Structure formats: structure tokens, C-alpha cells
Amino acid sequence: MCGIAGIYKLEKDQEVSKEVLKRMADTIAYRGPDGDGYFVDTFVGLAHRRLSIIDLEGGDQPMFNSRGDISIVYNGEIYNYVELKQELKQLGHSFRTTSDTEVIIKAYEQWGFACQEKFNGMWAFAIWDARAQHLFLSRDRLGEKPLNYMRYRNTFLFGSEIKSILAYTGHVAPDTEMNELYMFLGYIPSPNTFYKSIKKLSAGKYLVVKDGKVKEYTYWDLPKITENDLLKDDKKVTKELSELLYDSVRIRMRSDVPYGAFLSGGLDSSCIVSTMSEISSFPVKTFTIGFKEKAFDERDNARIIANRFNTEHHEEIVDKSSLESSVQKVLHHFDEPFADPAAIPTSYLAQSARKHVKMVLTGDGGDEVFAGYSNYQSELFAKNYQNRLPGFLKGSMPILVNALAKILTGNARYRLNRIKRVLESFNVPFDERLISKFVKIPPREMKKLLNKQAYPIDEFIASTLDDCSLKDPFYRLNYFNLKVSLPDQMLVKVDKISMASSLETRAPLLDYRIVELMYQVDKSIKMPTYKDEGVKHALKTVMTNKLPTEIINRRKQGFEVPLREWFKDGEFENMLNSSFASTGLNGPMIKTLIAENNKGQFDHGTLLWRILLLQKWMSKSTD
């Protein structure tokens, strides 16, 4: 796990400066505090910051093949490197190190660009092939490791983080056309960034830079299937999932340094700790974060698992005193507005774990892979609502719920407001319903908040879902989560925050074999009923008799932050200054949102957090 950066002069008569290359790498030193390395071949330069996990002595980078004409810088882990190494040895290759980096080089020598299809892991790498005179950049299938790039004044630049590119270019103007996507989603989806001309390489894709041209290709995608192809044999799916889960955890436990696991007490992280305990001959080190606000605290459930598997358990507490420092940390490490509030507790969790280990396994991706979000339940319920409820009730139900909400206060009012939004969404097409899931105010109100012309959210959704071959809204939601919210929100959050603490995270549930299997499973197996017991049915079946029943049957609780409560005491208003011009947002409307949140009329905590980060970032980026 590391950080990489590089320069390719598209006009080959120019030379790369090692000093500039080092400056680019130094901006991400926290990603690799164990060492650095540089390579310059006239018009090409590669830089690397190392966090050593495998082959502590022999894994330094850049690394070269035996002839010295292929070089690589690499961020990530190839978990099946042991098996690939044996295959390559049988094909006549010899090895000087025990690192997975050398396996990538040999695999590239053997299979060329097709080597990507051989890897089971997470990665972002750059290979300079002096023989072919091309630069080859690749990102893993699900997007666990980031890779940003830019064409700037006849120079191609790349880096694990945008700040490495900015170390070369200096100021790059914000792309305010991204405002609408950001305000609806809370992040900027690939291949876009909030900077003009800087791009993210999307998951499952690679670039080839040669002869002044930059070309993008796809080497992996979700299976192209129709509803008729979906798997409906419950026992067969469960058996295959059980085998894949065990193997996925096993190969991700390969490490030359101490490691542990993030543990929330939910099904996903609990199943990882259970499987690790089954494999390990030593107690697993587990790490949990909690809140003083009981409704958001999961420590009791985490302790159930810690006690069950006799783990070496550690806990930390987050409170609102961390709000200002959290804003500054998010702005620095994410390089662009990123408003998933779970970044706050994740940061504390990573810092806590790093005191004891250099690597952890996590339950990340479980909700996307196994359809665990409440949105999937609502899609199943929506079908019954639309097919069985009389027309006059469909229109009147949201009105009745809204009337009841207005006479209540506190959590009851928040719940009824949410129910009203859900009921209203049942009466519109799926694309519109999906948009309404992103925010807690009506989409038309969100549009009013945006003063400037922007890339419309509905255009983005239509374009994304265009590539989905499945027609049922349940599957289209799954497609969107796997293609957009997983790589551009969940995995960005985990990578940026963990690497800020020089901690590597590994996600067994995102093994591409598990993802491909579950994507092809019929919803009758994924979620046989929209009630809580039906959620993540396949994973629950696998873990029956392995996990306590109270964890198996526990209602899902997201990794949430009590923003609405933290902001009610006026601290939010103090942090949000009076000028909204730089954000391109409607100032008077923002003041209304703050007032409604403070009075407890609506839960605007998440939306206000997005506004705060956008304003702070815009102020910083236009200084």
C-alpha cells in the first residue's frame, strides 16, 4: 500500500526533473512513510512512496525487470500473487524477491495488458515499457485504489492523489459545472473531478500513453446479463459464496506485518472477524468507534462479536468537538469536496488501529454486493405499492403522513418526513426515484438551491444506467451502487482516510469473484422479502451457526454521524460564514435550511454538511 506519481513529456525532446518528481511524491508522504524511490528515463519519470506490508526488505520501488527496460510504481496488493508466482515459474520465469510487485512485472512480460485479468486484488500501477515506448496505467476492477491524471501543457501527469498533480501545475480552476452532481451525491463521480482538466481513471479501466496520445480501454465490467440469466438455486449460490468468502479472507490475511479488523458489530464486519478467527491461530485484533449519542453508537454489538471470538478489542469515542478539525482533514486529504460524514468516525477508527497494526480487513462493500441498503427494501415494497394500492390512496398517503409529521417532534417527525419522501417517490419512474434517494429535500428544492448552470443530475443518471442490461429497478439500483457510489464514495472515503493514517485496508467482500457471483443472483435469493429478515439473505445463510442470532437478525444501522444534533447548538452557523457567492448556491435558502434544522422541523444535517465542505473548499481553492 503506497502512493505513486509520475510525469510523461508528450514532446519527447523535453526532460523530466527529478526535483519536481520528488515534490509531487512528497505531498503524499503519509501514504508511504517507510521509504521513497524515483526513476527518470529522459522524458518519463516515476515516483513512489512506500508503506511496506509484503517483502519488507526486497519490495522497494520503482522496481525493474531483469533487463532494466520495464519499470513499475504500484499502490495496492495482489492477493493471489503466490498462486500467480507458481504459474509464472512453470512458464519459465525466475524471481529475485518475494514481493507481489515483481509478480506484476513478470505477469506483464508474459501476458501484456491481459495481465490485469489475472490479478485478484486492489491496485493502481504505472508501468513504463522502454521497449514498446509506452506508459501503461491500470486501476483495479472495483476502484479500491485511486488514480488521477491530467494533460497539462504537452505533459501527462498522474498521481494517487490530486495534490501530487497540483504540486506540478500550481493552481487549477474549480469546475463549477460539478456543483449539481456534488450537491445531490455528496461527491464527484468518475471520471470527473472538481478541477477543470483533472480526471479520475474509472474502475476496471486502463490507459496507454504513447506517441503523444492518451487512450483509455476497459478490461473488466459487470457481467452483461438479462433477467433470464439470473441464478435462482439458493443452495448452489450459498455453497459457492461460502467457499469464496473463506478464500477471499484467507488470501487477504497474507502479510509480513501485524494486522487486525474494523468491527462495527454489523453483519458484514462480523462475518469478516468470524472468518479471520477461523483461519488465524492468534486472537484477531479488532477496532471499533462509538458516539456519546446512543442512537448512533454500535459498541455494544461490536463487543458481542469481540467476546464471541475472543478478539483483542479496542474502542474509541467521537464527539462534536472534533468537527472543525474534521473539516480541515477532509479538505486536505480528499482534495475536492467530499461530504460523506462517515469520514469523521472512519478517521478516528483508522488512527486508533494504526497504533497497533499496519493493515486491517474490513466489511466494506457488503451493502453494495449483497443489496443491504434500505433502498433495496423500498424497491421491493414499491412494486407491491404500485401494483396493489388503489390509485386514490397512492396520492393521499403522502399528504396524510405529512399532516401527521407536522404535529409531532423529534425522531418521530424525522421518521415520518422520511416515509413521506419514500411514498412520494413510489409514484414516479425509477430514475426520478433514485435521484430522490440522494437528498432529504425534494429534488425540485435542491435545484432552487443551485444558482448556476451545471451538469444535470438527471442527465448523469440516465447516462450511467444506459449501460445496465437489467430492467428491474432493484437490479438497476444494484448496478448504480456498484458502478458509482461504491468506487466514488465508499472506497474513496476508506482509501483517503486510512492512508492519511498510513494504514492499509483490505475488503474481502469486494473480491471480484464474489461481486460477479452476487450480481448474477436473482433478487428472490438476495432479498426474498422486503422485511428486515430478508436483507442479505445469502450472506446470513452462510453465517448461520457462525454468528450470534442477535447479530444475524439485527436491523441494519449505517455508519452514521449525528450531524443534525451537532449543528443545532449554533456551532454550524459560526463555521459557515455569511458569504455564499463562491459556492454558486442560494444564500437565503441555506439560511432557511439552517433554521429548519435548528427547530427540529427537518433533518438537514447531511445537506448542510455538504454545503459547509463546498464553501470551505471553494474558499481555499480560490485563494
- Burial of 105-141, coded b for 16+ CB within 10 Å and e otherwise, reads bbbbbbeeeebbebbbbbbbbbbbbeeeebbbbbbbb
DSSP label at residue 174? B
CA distance 355 to 339: 26
Nearest alpha carbon to residue 345 among 365, 366, 357, 330: 330
Nearest alpha carbon to residue 54 among 236, 259, 234, 196: 259
Task: Choose which CATH entry (3.40.50.300, 3.40.50.620, 3.40.630.10, 3.30.70.1350) describes domain 227-371+476-552.
Answer: 3.40.50.620
Per the omega criterion (within 30 degrees of 0), is the bond before 443 cis?
no
Distance (Å) of CA 338 to CA 77, 144, 329, 343: 25, 16, 11, 9
Task: Choose which CATH entry (3.40.50.2300, 3.60.20.10, 3.40.50.150, 3.40.50.720) describes domain 2-218.
Answer: 3.60.20.10
Nearest alpha carbon to residue 139 among 224, 247, 217: 217
**Residue numbers of the chain with a pLDDT score lower than 50:** none
Annotated active-site residue 2? The verdict is: yes
pLDDT value of position 593 = 87
Q: Which class for 189: exposed (0-12), middle (13-18), buried (19 or more C-beta within 10 A)?
A: buried
Return residue ranges of the chain for CATH 3.40.50.620: 227-371+476-552
CA distance 74 to 76: 7
CA distance 578 to 593: 14
pLDDT value of position 620 = 76
Question: Is the Cβ–Cβ distance between 27 and 162 less than 8 Å?
Answer: no
* Helices 323-334, 343-354: inter-axial angle, 10-degree rounding: 90
Rounded to two decimals, what is the model's pTM?
Answer: 0.91
**Coil, helix or strand for 194?**
coil
Question: Is the Cβ–Cβ distance between 215 and 44 less than 8 Å?
Answer: no
pLDDT tens digits, 448-485: 888 777 889 999 999 999 999 999 999 999 999 999 99
The full DSSP string for 50-90 is E---S-TTT--SSEE-TTS-EEEEEEEEETTHHHHHHHHHH
CA distance 537 to 515: 15
C-alpha cell at 139: 486501476
* Continuous segment of H or E residues that includes residue 105: helix 100-111
Distance separating the N- and C-terminal Cα atoms of the chain: 33
Nearest alpha carbon to residue 5 among 103, 125, 100: 125
Selecting among 2, 115, 271, 468, the annotated active-site residue is 2
CA distance 136 to 72: 9
Return residue ranges of the chain for CATH 3.60.20.10: 2-218
DSSP label at residue 135? E
pLDDT value of position 163 = 96
CA distance 422 to 433: 8
